[in-house]
Structure 1
Amino acid sequence: MSIQVVAVFAAVLLAWTVSRLVAKRLPDTASKAASGMLLDAVFWGFVAARLGYIAQWWEEYAQSPMSMIAVGDQGFSWWIGALAALAFIWWRTRSSRALRRPVLVGIAAGLLSWFAAGGVLDLLQRSAPPLPELVLATLDEQPVVLNSYAGRPVVLNLWASWCPPCRREMPVFEQAQAQHPDIAFVMVNQGESARQARAFLESQGLKLKDVLLDPSSLTMKTMASRGLPTTLFFDEQGRLVDAHLGELTMASLKDTMSRRFARTQPIRTDKK
């Protein structure tokens, strides 16, 4: 489970707790109604945040409709979700305003903790290790120093052929690589031989430019990755600016790149 997901659950738990505490002066049934209403608001807020994000990146999701339900890509428009949750609370409490205050106070506490967690995560990323100076190998088993890619934005993906989400997201990187040649998409295989990696790529018809071998999984250890696939985003100076654990969709990849790589022009799907 990623730190971002933990932060979301913590914010929801805090919101529920604060709502219960503020509602203590209300009758017992009203107190329970307040905490239940908050959870309903959180649910509809999440739904609205996801739908808002899908609308924002509709072109990408429309190309792969099943990716709309892949919420593991962490694609949410949180400001839309917050507005939807507030609107839901306002509507539900129009005839019972006594419930409005505890629920709104709970939502406010949750949002504040979420923003605070975001600030802490940004500070942690600033102190994160840079693009590591590891000697890996190409599929032809020629040595390559990983940090030699610095000087332009780098999307570093850690993968293995036995990993189902790794296999599913490979076409996303292939497409992005073709559309955005100014970014280095470096696919570092973890723990497998050149024969295994090459066999997988050929069987899937994938044409990826920068595929490297890391048979000892040193990159995972160096970057403290907790699982596969892991995608790390480095700026031109080789500084880690974002990280994603789990499968990426085209929408979430483009979103992260547009936010983290300031000079990068938005990627658009080629239209024929």
Structure 2
Amino acid sequence: MNAVAIGPLVFDAERFAAIAGLVTFLGLTSFLAWRVDDKLARWSTWTAFSGVAGARAVHVLQHLDGFLSEPWRIFALWQGGFSWAEGAGAVVTMMVILFIRDRRLFTWAAASVVAGVTITGATAFLTLSRTHAPPPDVTLQSLTGDRITIGGGGRPIVLNLWATWCPPCRRELPMMAEIADGATGADFLFANQGEQSAQVDRYLRGQRLTLRKVVLDTQMTLSRHYSAVGLPATLFLADDGTVMASHLGEISREVLIQQIERLTDREGNLQ
């Protein structure tokens, strides 16, 4: 799975690459501000803010109805949801402003941006998986007693790995249950990790949650198979069970819907 673990901290690989690039950019401009001109420090702070804020703002505007009903989610950056092309546009705008105001510093600023982009790309290359993991050769028992295999059913699957003790899992489950009820192009499968049926059933009843399909992965076979280093983890599987995309950590409604649309569009194009 596309994830990076550093001690107790776990990052989605794409977000880790972006953070690595941002840290490189800010670190280099801080050094240059000390050695060349302290104006670079102020410029880099505004540039970093503009890039991240711009990427987030465009995503929010694209899904404004959903964010208006829960405005606090605008600041839930850990859920994902950025339009990086627009973020890059904001950075270019800041570069143009610096070029107009102080061309002497433009070369140093451009070198910092190039360094940040290079580190982002290199980190992504090293951490993002280029292979589509096949489905595991395992049969799991559902909460209702049925025996279920992963993949091979002829339909795309949204596979969510979760546990009752996991706070972000508990936060996203009601939203995912709602999306699952209305989804027509993909099936949802909620695979509880490491817990017994009585505990899972008690939790769902207590929260009044109805999930379409819940399987019990008491040995955490799926977490090992997909190399999920944390929970929750959501995997988007093609109709043959291979992984097409993944998201580590709490996922937003918008990102979830976006990934489902990409998955079903791909399957439709292949038919």
The answer to whether the aligner puts 1:11 opposite 2:21 as a matched pair is yes
Note the 1:222-233 alignment, pairs <5 A: 222-233=225-236
User: In the aligned structure 1, how far is the partner of 2:110 from the partner of 2:159?
Assistant: 41
2:184 to 173, 178, 181: 181
Cα distance, 1:59 vs. partner?
2.2
The answer to whether the aligner puts 1:99 opposite 2:99 as a matched pair is no
1:129 to 130, 133, 154: 133
Cα distance, 1:82 vs. partner?
1.1
TM-score (norm 2): 0.84
The answer to whether the aligner puts 1:28 opposite 2:28 as a matched pair is no
Other structure's SS at 1:237 match: coil
Cα distance, 1:112 vs. partner?
4.3
Aligned residues: 258
Q: Percent identity?
A: 27
Cα distance, 1:190 vs. partner?
0.8
Answer yes or no: is the 8 Å Cα contact 2:141–2:148 preserved in 1. yes
Answer yes or no: is the 8 Å Cα contact 2:157–2:189 preserved in 1. yes
Aligned to 2:51: 45
Unaligned runs of 5+ in 2: 1-9
Cα distance, 1:237 vs. partner?
2.5
Answer yes or no: is the 8 Å Cα contact 2:151–2:241 preserved in 1. yes
1:88 to 61, 78, 94: 94
Cα distance, 1:205 vs. partner?
1.8
Cα distance, 1:257 vs. partner?
2.2
Other structure's SS at 1:38 match: helix
User: In the aligned structure 1, how far is the partner of 2:124 from the partner of 2:152?
Assistant: 31
Aligned to 2:5: none
What amino acid is aligned across from residue 22 of structure 2 in structure 1? V
In the superposition, relative to structure 1, how do residues 12 and 189 fare at CA in structure 2: closer, same or farther (>3 Å)? same
In the superposition, relative to structure 1, how do residues 153 and 121 fare at CA in structure 2: closer, same or farther (>3 Å)? farther
What amino acid is aligned across from residue 251 of structure 1 in structure 2? E
**Post-superposition CA distance 1:14-72 (Å, at most 9, x none):** 43466578x69xx9341x43255224311221011111111112222223222222111
User: In the aligned structure 1, how far is the partner of 2:81 from the partner of 2:144?
Assistant: 37
The answer to whether the aligner puts 1:140 opposite 2:130 as a matched pair is no
Answer yes or no: is the 8 Å Cα contact 1:86–1:104 preserved in 2. no
In the superposition, relative to structure 1, how do residues 61 and 20 fare at CA in structure 2: closer, same or farther (>3 Å)? closer
Cα distance, 1:251 vs. partner?
0.8
Coordinate RMSD, CA, aligned: 2.5
User: In the aligned structure 2, how far is the partner of 1:93 from the partner of 1:102?
Assistant: 11
**Post-superposition CA distance 1:92-117 (Å, at most 9, x none):** 45322211222123223423443455
Which protein has greater RCO, CA pairs closer than 8 Å, 6+ apart?
A: 2
2:74 to 68, 77, 100: 68
In the superposition, relative to structure 1, how do residues 60 and 119 fare at CA in structure 2: closer, same or farther (>3 Å)? farther
Answer yes or no: is the 8 Å Cα contact 1:61–1:251 preserved in 2. no
1:252 to 247, 250, 255: 255
User: In the aligned structure 1, how far is the partner of 2:122 from the partner of 2:36?
Assistant: 32
Other structure's SS at 1:147 match: coil
Aligned to 2:213: 210
Unaligned runs of 5+ in 1: 266-272
Answer yes or no: is the 8 Å Cα contact 2:189–2:213 preserved in 1. yes
What amino acid is aligned across from residue 20 of structure 2 in structure 1? A
In the superposition, relative to structure 1, how do residues 50 and 264 fare at CA in structure 2: closer, same or farther (>3 Å)? farther
